[in-house]
Structure formats: structure tokens, C-alpha cells
């Protein structure tokens, strides 16, 4: 009898263990990027002045109720890390799809320009590794940065090779610009998990300048189109934009270039969100001390697809770009490639556009390219990344395929009192 009872108990234990394993596997299936006590999704972001400040965000399980970021000038002696300055993080709990996570953020201030720093984040026994980051330099210093069109799909599979190729070719980039639709569904936490998996440590060492697209937005229960709650939880971006569009419409000044993010989803809907950005953009362009200006947003002024036309952007914003001779506008949305300025007329004059417009993509979602008449160069069904350098009066642009082949290249040359000269190199 005792043997039979022992056997029954043993079988019950086996069944319980199998049920626990099955339940764990099921939870992993629906939550493939669960939180834990150690920091994950560590991401640097630009501030208004990345030569003296930087922002960092990370995520933990909601049981980790506080966080600290430590920073110091980079050293070779590992015993010196005890001299790092610790800064208490701002922590907020976000419950999404029934799962709670804590998001932590710190803005490092009082930094020195063009200085190599090391930092780590976490709390107690649960801390990240130490990362290196170099602050931006001073106006006039040579500047390099990376521009990515839509990632959206393939974040874990075919996109990682793109960001890694970009990093290998330009490890000294001062920022990575994203032109919206960074993920396919902004409310899907696992898609953000795929993005951070795909970017790996690169997101922790090069500050990001994220601009939202339509896929980071969705209608809420009241039918109002709004940005995902995960956006401001996991990014800390400048809050120098219009009220109500914080951390989606903003600017950052880096080494003589004013970088501007617009929220084109709010422009696409028109109304108050559009007018606020018109007034704000006019103000920051008329009061712009920088020699170069680069604007990033999602919906193109000139589309690569024949059946797409973003009239609000072209009719309301292109005149502002013309008026202030914005140098470069970087966009996404169309999942194909196009760039041009020499075939774009400037209304009321015999001149062509003073602004170079680019549409690109980096993920796996592809559309046919309709060879638009406005474009000097176009293409489709290619994963691309762009490397851009500004050195005094010359802006050099290179677009590469995922396999490292040069696809497009040009230079813009500043000319006093005239539009930029264009030199096509590919």
C-alpha cells in the first residue's frame, strides 16, 4: 500500500512539474521579452545640448522600485570606478497588457564637450555593464551621424545586420536618427523588445533621436489618435517643443547643426497639432544660430509612391523649409527610396528647392518604387542605412545597402547668399 501511495505521489509531482513547464513556456510565448531585476532596454537619447548633457533610460521588473545611474570620465584602471557619481533615477510604473514594468530615466548634466565617459545603470546587486559614450563637441567640429528609415518589421531577424553595418562603418557617430515607424505596432511591447534586441549595445553607446510615425500611434477608447504610452516611458527626449507634443516634436543642437523632429502624425491629422508645429518651427528657425539645419519626420513631403500625397506637409511646411533654407529633410513611411532637390521647383521663382529631401527604409517591409519625377535617385526592395558627415561647409551623404554596397551619394556645399550646391557622387 505504501509503495502504491508513493508511486501516486511521484506521478502527481511529475504532472505538476509538466504543468508548470507548460505554463512557463506559454507565458514566454506571449511575453518573449519579460522584465527581470537586471536593467534591459538601455538606451541613450539626445538632449537639447548633447555636448554637456545626455539622457539614459532602462527597464526592470516592477519589484525594482528605484534605480541609479553612475557616470565618470572613462578610465583604464577598473578600481577607479568607485569614484563614479551616482544619480538617482526617476522611476515610473507602466502596466501594459496586464504586465507591470518599471521604467527608469536619468539626465546626466554638467558634462564636458568631446569627452569620453563611462556609465552604468541599475540598483544594488542588479546593475548593467559599464558603457562608453563620447559627448558631442563644439560648433564647427566635424560631425557624423546615422539616419534610419522605417525599421517596423524584421527587427529581430534581418534589421540587426543593418544597424551593425552602420555602426561598423561609423562608430564615432554622435546620434542615430529614426524617421518613425520604428516598430509595427507601438502598443505591442514585444515589438519594442525585438527592436532593443536588434540594436543591442549600440543603443547604449550612441544617443538616439527618435521621431514618431503613424505606427507608434493608435486610436484610444475615445477614438482619439495618440502616441503609445511606451514612448515617453522608454525614451527621454528634449521637452522644448509645443505643449501637448512633448518628446515627439523637439530640437537638439549638435556641433553647429540644428536637428529638428516634427510629429508628422499630428500634422497629417491637421488642426491644433499642425498649427502648433507651424508656429514653433518658425520660431526656432528664425532664431537658429547654427550653420546647418536637418529636419526629421515620418510622412514625406514628396512621396515615393504615386498613390500617396501628404498635402498638409507640402503646403504648410515646405514654404517654411524654403524660407529658411533648411538643408536636409529626412523621412520614411513609403518603404522605398527617393532623394532629390534639383528637380523640385521653388514656387514663384526660376530656382529649384533649397532643401534636399530623402525618403528611406531599413527594415524588411518593402513597397514598389514608382520612380517619382521629383527624385534624382530612387530605388526599392533594398534595406538601407545612411551615414552623414558635416565638416565646415560640406555635408557628405552616403546611403549603403545591408551588404555594404554604396547605393547613393552626394555632397551639399554651403554658398553665401545662394542655395547649396549639389554634387552627385553616385
Give the tens place of pLDDT for each residue, 316-346: 999 999 999 999 999 999 999 999 999 998 8
Helix (H), strand (E) at residue 177:
strand 176-179
pLDDT at 173 over 70: yes
Nearest Cα residue to 122 out of 154, 146, 173, 87 = 87
Listed by start position, the domains of the chain span: 40-134, 143-424
Q: Which of 230, 281, 231, 233 is nearest to 259 (CA)?
A: 281
- Residue 4 clears pLDDT 90, i.e. is over it: no
Question: What are the residue ranges of helices labelled H in 105-179?
Answer: 160-169
Cα-based angle 212, 218, 220 (whole degrees, multiple of 5): 135
The per-residue b/e assignment along 18-49, b for 16 or more CB within 10 angstroms, e otherwise, is eeeeeeeeeeeeeeebebeebbbbbbbbbbeb
Q: Considering only CA atoms, which of 143, 136, 198 is closest in space to residue 165?
A: 198
Q: How far apart are CA 108 and CA 207, in angstroms?
A: 12
DSSP 52-101: T-EEEEEEEETT----EEEEEE--S-GGGGGGPEEEEPEEEEEEETTEEE
Segment holding 203, helix H or strand E: helix 202-205
- Yes or no: is domain 40-134 CATH 2.60.40.380? yes
Report whether CATH 3.40.190.10 matches the domain 143-424: no
The strand pair at 328-331 and 356-359 is best described as: parallel
* Residue 426: pLDDT over 90: no
CB 323 within 8 A of CB 355: no
**What's the rounded Cα separation, in Å, for the pair 186 and 194?**
12
Distances (CA, A) of 83 to 72, 79, 124, 165: 7, 9, 16, 35
Q: Which three cell numbers stand for residue 282?
A: 518658425
Range of weakest confidence among 29-38, 113-122, 283-292: 29-38
- Mean local confidence (pLDDT), 112-128: 97
- Structure confidence by residue, pLDDT tens digits, 362-419: 999 999 888 899 999 999 999 999 999 999 999 999 999 999 999 999 999 999 889 9
Instruction: Say if residues 64 and 154 touch (Cβ distance below 8 Å).
Output: no
**Is the pLDDT at 137 greater than 70, yes or no?**
yes
Quickly state the pLDDT bin for 24 (edges 50, 70, 90).
very low
pLDDT given at position 23? 45
Amino acid at each position: 500500500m505504501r509503495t502504491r501511495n508513493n508511486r501516486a505521489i511521484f506521478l502527481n509531482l511529475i504532472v505538476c512539474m509538466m504543468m508548470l513547464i507548460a505554463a512557463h513556456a506559454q507565458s514566454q510565448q506571449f511575453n518573449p521579452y519579460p522584465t527581470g531585476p537586471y536593467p534591459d532596454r538601455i538606451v541613450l537619447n539626445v538632449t537639447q545640448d548633447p555636448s554637456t548633457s545626455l539622457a539614459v533610460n532602462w527597464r526592470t521588473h516592477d519589484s525594482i522600485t528605484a534605480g541609479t545611474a553612475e557616470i565618470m570620465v572613462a578610465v583604464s584602471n577598473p578600481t577607479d570606478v568607485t569614484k563614479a557619481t551616482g544619480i538617482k533615477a526617476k522611476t515610473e510604473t507602466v502596466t501594459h497588457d496586464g504586465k507591470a514594468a518599471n521604467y527608469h530615466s536619468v539626465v546626466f548634466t554638467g558634462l564636458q564637450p568631446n569627452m569620453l565617459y563611462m556609465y552604468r545603470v541599475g540598483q544594488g546587486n542588479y546593475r548593467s555593464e559599464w558603457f562608453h559614450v563620447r559627448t558631442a563637441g563644439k560648433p564647427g567640429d566635424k560631425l557624423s551621424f546615422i539616419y534610419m528609415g522605417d525599421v517596423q518589421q524584421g527587427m529581430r531577424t534581418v534589421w540587426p545586420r543593418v544597424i551593425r553595418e552602420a555602426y561598423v562603418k561609423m562608430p564615432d557617430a554622435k546620434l542615430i536618427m529614426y524617421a518613425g515607424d520604428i516598430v509595427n505596432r507601438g502598443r505591442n511591447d514585444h515589438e519594442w523588445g525585438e527592436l532593443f534586441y536588434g540594436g543591442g549595445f549600440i543603443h547604449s553607446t550612441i544617443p538616439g533621436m527618435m521621431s514618431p510615425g503613424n505606427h507608434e500611434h493608435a486610436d484610444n477608447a475615445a477614438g482619439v489618435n495618440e502616441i503609445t504610452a511606451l514612448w515617453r516611458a522608454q525614451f527621454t527626449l528634449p521637452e522644448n517643443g509645443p505643449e501637448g507634443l512633448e518628446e515627439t516634436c523637439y530640437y537638439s543642437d549638435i556641433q553647429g547643426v540644428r536637428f529638428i523632429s516634427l510629429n508628422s502624425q499630428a500634422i497629417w491629422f491637421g488642426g491644433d497639432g499642425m498649427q502648433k508645429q507651424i508656429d514653433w518651427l518658425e520660431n526656432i528657425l528664425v532664431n537658429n544660430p547654427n550653420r546647418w539645419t536637418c529636419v526629421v519626420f515620418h510622412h514625406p513631403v514628396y512621396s515615393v509612391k504615386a498613390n500617396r500625397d501628404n498635402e498638409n506637409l507640402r503646403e504648410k511646411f515646405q514654404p517654411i523649409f524654403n524660407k529658411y533654407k533648411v538643408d536636409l529633410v529626412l523621412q520614411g513611411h513609403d518603404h522605398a527610396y527617393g532623394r532629390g532637390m534639383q528637380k523640385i521647383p521653388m514656387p514663384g521663382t526660376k530656382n529649384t528647392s533649397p532643401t534636399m529631401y530623402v525618403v528611406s527604409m531599413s527594415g524588411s517591409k518593402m513597397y514598389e518604387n514608382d520612380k517619382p519625377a521629383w527624385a534624382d535617385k530612387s530605388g526599392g526592395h533594398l534595406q538601407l542605412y545612411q551615414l552623414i558627415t558635416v565638416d565646415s561647409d560640406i555635408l557628405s551623404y552616403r546611403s549603403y545597402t545591408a551588404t555594404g554596397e554604396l547605393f547613393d551619394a552626394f555632397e551639399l556645399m554651403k554658398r553665401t547668399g545662394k542655395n547649396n550646391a549639389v554634387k552627385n557622387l553616385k
